[in-house]
Structure formats: structure tokens, C-alpha cells
Structure 1
Amino acid sequence: MNKKTAGRPRIRTPRVELHPASVKYIFKGHPWITKDKYSLKFPKGSPFITAKLDEVKNDDAKFVVMLNDPTHDSVLARIWRIGEGSSHLGPKEFYFELRERMQASFEARGNIDNRENYYLAFGESDYLPGLFIIRLKDRILIQFYANFWNHFESDVLKIVKDFYPKDTIWVQKRNLKRKKEFYCATNKQLKEDNFIIEEFGVKYQIKLNQFYDIGIYTDMAAIRDRVKDNFDEKSVLNLYSYTGAYSLFALKQGATNVTSVDLSQKYLDWLQENLVLNEMSEDHESLCMPTIKALEKFKSEGRKFDLIICDPPSASSDGKKVSKAIDAYKDMIPLFDMILNKGGKAHIFLNTHSITRKKFENKIKEYIGNRKISITGSLKLTGDCPSLKGFIEGDYLKGLTLLKK
């Protein structure tokens, strides 16, 4: 235990009242307490709060201990544990419980191979609410999605250092405003970090503390591996390509040619760095333009593709207007129908927890209408990104496979 934790006195955990709906969701497995007339009264000064659950006829659960986060925009508390006995939790007990959970999470990733980027901890799904930890070769990136962790940041760092003493450790405070907040915990003089990782035989340039995101989406890695057989001898279109993970992966898997489209020249330049790094530039082209304009261009030119990858941000702007991904598909689906070869596929994604998987599928069916396209499968987080039963918000990355008949 670090010095800050060791010297803390035991403080009685404040008791709060929960909305009846929150109690019901807790017993369904949901780990969040969101903003309502009850949670707005939670105390500001304590990192932990507790609530009685006696009104629920369940002998195995008498109270709930929560991580208090009164300054968060929407999630004001996160479930830590449910049980009988003492309902109090002090810093000392929390440290040991935290260490046990982090160790279990680290050990669960012992079978990850063929890639140097994977999650060591995936937040609520590993019973570590708001705490995400990514291994990037010999670097570790700790991401805090809850302000609660400001109280115990040094504890998290100590535990990670104990298990990975040789790794360079970075910390990022993730926030809704996408403000860049990074620092290196093992070398305070290090302000930026550029290095190369490998995933399924493809090399990627990673850049820490230069942008809000780091150059690759690790939660997509297991999905890339799942669809790897779809690229061989295919003409591939990668929309919203970012730094080109799917583009490079497609070329590695035998795609005949790949076209990447993104609105940001900055990210396309980064993609080009990755292409040069892998000696793959020959069968690739980049287009810097809005996705709809690119699709209309391909339609007018009569260009066809065998496979489309489409992973838009939950909301994007072309400089004139902001559009939600779910709405953008209304215009994209008809164009997919026109530029896909017969028998061609599209892997399309929605990256938001505010729309359920069922609603996403129903909307896409509506946009397809009577066109010769059908939904043939679904894709979801897997592998080092496990799901938690009862936690719909944790199922934020939703994918569908479309087939052109």
C-alpha cells in the first residue's frame, strides 16, 4: 500500500437513498446510478457511499457500496459491491479489494497472442468501474473515465507498477469534451511517446499525448481478427478510416486493393506513415473528403467494391453540419447498394451506448427497404473486451454484416 493510503483514517461511509428504479436496475446487474432527484442529493465529500436494499426481498443482498462521483455529468455513482455485513468501506479495504480485482483482470488476459495491444482491464465488465487499462507492447495506458479515480490514482499506479515494473506507464483522463489530458507516470520528463506496435502481423505507429486518441482502436482488434477471412482477393473500401487499421489489415489478409476515405488529412497522413512502415503503399489510395461525397463519386464513376468497412464516429461534422451516425446511414445504405458488387459485403458499425442493438438493426432494415441487401450477421465486442450482463451501455460497439444479393 502506498504512503497516502496507509495514513488515512477510517471514515464512516455516508448512507444515501436510491431511486426505486435504480434499485431494480442494480439487481438486474446494471452498475451505474445516473442523475435523478435522489442521486443529486448524494454528498460531495466522500469517495464512497452506501445504500440499504432491505426493501428488496433478496436475502443475499442487504446493501450496496458505490463509488461516489458527484461531479460527473451523468453517472453520479458506480456499483462497487453488494452484500451483507458491514456496509462501510475505507481506503485501506478499498485498496486491497482493488488490487484483487486488478490482478484477476490482468491474469484473465494471459492467452492474448498475435497482437501487442490489448485491454488489461475493461471497466465495469471487469468490475473496475470507469477504469480501463491498455497494454501497448512495453507501454501501459491507464484511462480514467470517472472523476472518482482522482482520489485513488496513486493506488492504481502502484498496483500497475507492481505487476509491470519494466513498462512505461501513461495516464489519460478521458472526458466528454475530448480535452487531451495525458502524463507519463514513470518518467515525468517524457511529454510525448512515439513507438511501433504489431497486431496480427501489421505494424502501427502509436502516438501518445499528441492527440486525444492514440492511433488505433484496441476494442476493434478482436473484431478485426473475427472478419479476417473476408478480405482475401477483395476490393475493399474503408470509410471513416482514421489511421487505417482496417485498411492495413485488409492488405495483410490479401485484399487486391484498398481505398481509404477520411475527412481528416492529418489522419490520412498518419495512415500513410503506417503504409510505408509495412511497405504496403502500392495497392492503396486515400481520399480526403466527406464520406457521402466519396460514395457519390464512386457511383458516378461506376466503381464497385467487394467489401465495405464503415465505422463512423457517433457524431461527425463536415464543417457545415453535425450528423449522427445512425442518421448518416439513411443516406449511405442506398449508395452501398449501388457500389457493392453482387455478393459483396459491408461491415457497418455504430459506436454509441445511447442506441440499443435492436434499434440499430431496425433502423438499418428501415433504410434498406426493398433493396437487394440483407442483414446476415452481427458483430460485437469480444475477447479482451468482455460484456457485462444487464449493462446495455457497455455494449456500445455494435456491428452488422450486410450482403448485396
Structure 2
Amino acid sequence: MTIATLKKGEGRTIKAGGMWVFDNEIETVLGSFEDGDIVQVHDFDGFPMGKGFINSNSKIRIRMMTRNKEQEIDEAFLRMRVQNAWDYRKKTVDTSSCRIIFGEADFLPGLIVDKFSDVLVVESLALGIDRLKDTILKCLRSILEADGIQIRGIFERSDAKVRENEGMERFKGFIGPEFDTNVEITENGVRYIVDVKEGQKTGFFLDQKYNRLAVGRLCKGAKVLDCFTHTGSFALNAGLAEAGSVLGIDASELGIAQARENAKLNGLENIVHFQCANVFELLPEMEEKGEKFDVIILDPPAFTKSRNSVKNAIKGYREINLRAMKLLKDGGFLATCSCSHFMTYELFTQTLHQASRNVHKRLRQVEYRTQAPDHPILWAADESYYLKFYIFQVCDEK
């Protein structure tokens, strides 16, 4: 087998338990290979580090599959990985809709599989795992069927730009027979129609499942503002929790149209309303009108997807949080988050503190949360820890 040998002093990530070997960490690659092949990884002194798949197109040159140099990456191995992922979900989350495979954190690097009721949505982001995808999905269907779960269809959403970094084309389409891509799911008692074909990412953000539930507890009788509502998930949880009134805001007309349908689906159209608008423009207008809310939720898209744009992201997060704090009644609650792993916990916390000082507000932390357990955080794999979620009570300085 082809052997990739690390430079002396390199490989810190995989030695700490991570999954990636970068191009500048490799001294030599001995033997012939095609991109996507499995190779052996050795430390500079020849000590075997395990096996992974290689891609000369990517800065992430090797993604590790196993630390066992004797392990064959065959169907039995892949079935074991998938079985472990499913067993973990059964113990930690509601599996009616959940993320079954979360890439590196499930030791299947570059692969995402979400289950929405009886439909699977697949996102393949690395060449090596793409070659193993069909076998993995065959194993997954078999494992689910053994638990009495019938999957009626699989849709692939491998249309992210990051595939181009792997020398791969973007792809979106059915794997197997076609089916209705508007799928009804229930989460926290809220019903949604998930558009797995045209919705963002794989169609719905499962990572906020229990954060939505946590915010809902604060909303009974409250006037609620849900910013960047997407298809209305936080807003609908607030409505189901007997909020007095809820307004959801998003710049996407498609998202708002779906949110309104979801409100009707839950019989909440008289309580939960939606508006298509730019949050950055609307919050100052609300402030000028003297509007006040009991609960405000900020669930923005990632303002930064690279280290180069972190400074601009900080400005964006500070601006929306500052505006939200000014719109809250004294003693109101702010739920606020960042979904970019480049916006670290320390940076996000510091930014919120700056925003509160700028508007002379005191923050009382109710709780700090992160992504749902079906998106496990693998220590030493920083990219798996991305969602930072705070709930504060916001008080005037007196």
C-alpha cells in the first residue's frame, strides 16, 4: 500500500485525536495512487499512524479512516462505523428526524446523512468518501430496516461549493427512485414541511432542536421577535409554547413562504406572523418606532466561513446583538448564537460583552448551549464544534 510519511514535528492534529493531515505536513508519498485511494500514514520515524484516503487536489491531503494499520476499509468496516453512529443516536436524541452521520465526528470524514422521517438526505464533501458512499448507504438502509424503519427515498445535496476544493463537481439529485421532496416531520411537537430539494443545506437545521425547546420555555404570554427565522422553527416553538404574539423575520421569500405554510400546518397563523425583510435594516426601524419585545431570538447564518473574514463577522454579530438588546424590555430574554466554527467561543463571548457595554445593558446568563447531540463534537476536530448558543436575561443598568 502507498505510504505517506509526515515531516518531523508535524501531524499534531491527528496525534491529538483529529482526522486531518494537511498537504504541508507530508514529507513523502511512496507508491502510486489515484485520488480517493486509501493510503497508510506513517510518522517521520516510520511509526504507523493508521489509514486514510488521499486527495492531491485538497489542502486536507489525507482524511483518516482508522488508527489500526491492519484494518481493511471494506464493507464490514463501514457497516461497523454506521452501526455505531446509529446506536449513538438511539441513546442520545429523538431519532424520528436526526443527523445520523456527522462526518469526522462519526469517523466517516466528509459525509453527512440526515434522516427526515422516512427520507434520507446525503451530503458528500470529500472524494474518498464519495467512492464509498453507495456502500455506506446500503449498510445504513439495512441497519434501519433491522430496527423496523423503512426508508422510502434518498436525495443527495452535494451541491456545496467546498466540493470544488476536492476537484469534484457539485451534484443535487435522487439516489434511486424519485419521490415527493416535501417531507413532513415533527420536532418538539411542531410540524414542518421540509423541502429537501430546494431548502438550505439538507433542508432543515436539526442542530438547533433542543435549543428551540429551551427558548420556548421563556415564551408563554410573551411578545417574541425571531430574527433570521428561515422556515419559522424558533417562531413556531414560541407559538406552541403559548406566546402572546410572534414575528419571524427573514430575507428569503422562499423561506418566509414555507414558514407561513408551517404556521398553518400547526394552527398558529393567528399568533405567529412572518415578514420578509433585511434584519440589519429592520431592527433600527423598530427601534425608531419605540417597539419593545419580551423575547428576541437571533439565529443568523454564518457571517464568516474563513479566518480572513472574522473581523467583519465580529462587526455583524456585535451590530445585531446591540440592536436586539435595545429592543428588549428591561428583564427581557435574548437567545443568540453563531454557527461558524471560525467565530470561536471566546470571540463570540467577547463580542456579546462589547455589545452589552455599548448599550449599557447587563447580561445575566441563563444558559450556554451548543449543537444537539446528533451533531457530536469530536475533541481535536475543531470543525465539529461550530454552534455557540447563549440565552441571557437583559437588564438595564440601574
Q: TM-score, normalised by structure 2?
A: 0.85
Which runs of structure 2 are paired with 1:386-401 in the superposition (5 Å)?
Answer: 386-401=376-391
Question: Equivalents in 1 of 2:272, 2:29: separation in Å?
Answer: 56
Q: What displacement does 1:275 show? A: 0.8
The residue that corresponds to 1:81 in the other structure is 66
What's 1:238 paired with? 226
1:384 equivalent to 2:369? Answer: no
1:214 is displaced (CA, Å) by 4.6
Q: Is the contact between residue 48 and residue 67 of structure 1 (CA under 8 Å) also seen in structure 2?
A: yes
Give SS of 1:360's match. Answer: helix
Equivalent AA in structure 2 for residue 343 of structure 1:
G
Cα deviation code 1:223-248 (max 9, x no counterpart): 22333322222211111111111111
Who is 2:175 aligned against?
Answer: 185
Match of 1:158 among 138, 148, 151: 138
Residue number in structure 2 paired with 1:373: 362
What is the deviation of 1:206?
A: 1.2
CA distance in 1, matches of 2:154, 2:28: 35
- The equivalences for 1:74-113 within 5 A come to 74-83=59-68, 87=69, 90=72, 93-111=73-91
* C-alpha contact 2:41 2:51 (8 A) present in aligned 1: yes
User: What's the CA shift for 1:211?
Assistant: 4.0
Measured in 2, the distance between the counterparts of 1:62 and 1:256 equals 62
Does the 8 Å contact 2:157/2:202 carry over to 1?
A: no
- Whether the aligned pair in 2 keeps the contact of 1:380 and 1:398 (CA below 8 Å) is yes
Q: 2 CA distance for matches of 1:310 and 1:40?
A: 47
Equivalent residue for 1:313? Answer: 301
- The CA distance in 2 between the partners of 1:263 and 1:174, in whole Å, is 22
Please list the CA deviations of residues 24-60 of structure 1 after superposition, one character each: whole Å capped at 9, or x if unmatched.
Answer: 221212212234263897954452122223649xxxx
Identical-pair percentage: 21
Matches within 5 A, 1:332-347: 332-347=320-335
Structure 1 pair 302/76, CA: closer, same or farther in 2 (3 Å)?
Answer: same
Q: Secondary structure at the match of 1:230?
A: coil
Q: Does 1:128 align with 2:117?
A: no
User: Which one of the candidate residues 25, 48, 56 is aligned to 2:38?
Assistant: 48
Match of 2:210 in 1: 222
Deviates more, 1:113-122 or 1:174-183: 174-183
Q: 1:156 to 1:64 in 2, by over 3 A?
A: same
Q: Note if contact 1:68-1:77 (Cα within 8 Å) is conserved in structure 2.
A: yes
8 Å CA contact 1:326–1:350 kept in 2: the answer is no
User: Is 1:216–1:245's contact at 8 Å kept on the other side of the alignment?
Assistant: no
Query: What residue is the counterpart of 2:51 in the other structure?
Result: 65
Q: Secondary structure at the match of 2:53?
A: strand
TM-score, normalising length: structure 1? 0.84
Query: Displacement, 1:213?
Result: 3.1
Cross-structure match for 1:327: 315
Q: Does residue 304 of structure 1 match 2:292?
A: yes
Deviation at 1:66, TM superposition (A): 1.5
Amino acid at match of 2:322: P
CA distance in structure 1 between the partners assigned to 2:240 and 2:392 by the alignment? 23
Deviations, residues 251-291 of structure 1 (Å, cap 9, x unaligned): 01121111111111121111111111111111122222211
Q: 2:198 aligns with which of 198, 210, 217?
A: 210
- Equivalent-residue separation in structure 1 for 2:27 and 2:121 (angstroms): 31
- Map of 1:118 onto structure 2: 98
Q: Does 1:29 align with 2:17?
A: yes
Q: Is the 8 A contact 1:53 1:64 kept in 2?
A: no
- Inter-partner Cα distance in structure 2 for 1:272 and 1:180: 30
Q: Output the amino acid matched with 2:315.
A: D
Question: Alpha-carbon deviation of 1:197?
Answer: 0.8
- Equivalent of 1:171, from 146, 156, 164? 156
Note closer, same or farther for the CA distance 1:311–1:268 as it changes in structure 2 (3 Å cut). Answer: same
Structure 2 residues not aligned, in runs of 5+: 164-168, 305-309
- Paired residues of 1:237 and 1:305 also in contact (CA < 8 A): yes
Conserved in 2, the CA contact under 8 Å of 1:122 and 1:133? yes
* SS of corresponding position for 2:194: strand
Question: In 1, Cα distance between the equivalents of 2:207 and 2:380?
Answer: 20
SS in 2 for 1:390: coil
1:171, distance to aligned residue in structure 2 (A): 2.6
Cα deviation for residue 110 of structure 1 reads 1.8
CA RMSD in angstroms, aligned pairs only:
2.7
- Report deviation, 1:205: 0.6
Relative to structure 1, the CA distance from residue 48 to residue 113 in structure 2 (aligned partners, 3 Å threshold; closer, same or farther) is closer
CA change 1:89–1:113 in 2 (3 A) is: closer
> 1:355 Cα deviation (Å)?
2.5
Contact 2:157/2:201, CA 8 A, preserved across alignment:
no
Give the deviation of 1:114 after TM superposition. 5.7
Distance 2:368 2:346 in 1: 11
Q: Deviations over 1:183-210 (max 9, x none)?
A: 32231x44x5112111111110111223
Q: Go from structure 1 to structure 2 and tell me whether the alpha carbon gap of 1:266 and 1:94 turns closer, same or farther (over 3 Å shift).
A: same
Aligned pair in 2 of structure 1 residues 363, 334: CA closer, same or farther (>3 Å)?
closer
Inter-CA distance 323–215: structure 2 relative to 1 (3 Å threshold)? farther
Q: Partner of 1:182: helix, strand, or coil?
A: strand
CA contact (8 A) 2:81 2:108 kept: yes
Q: Deviations over 1:334-357 (max 9, x none)?
A: 322321011112111111122221
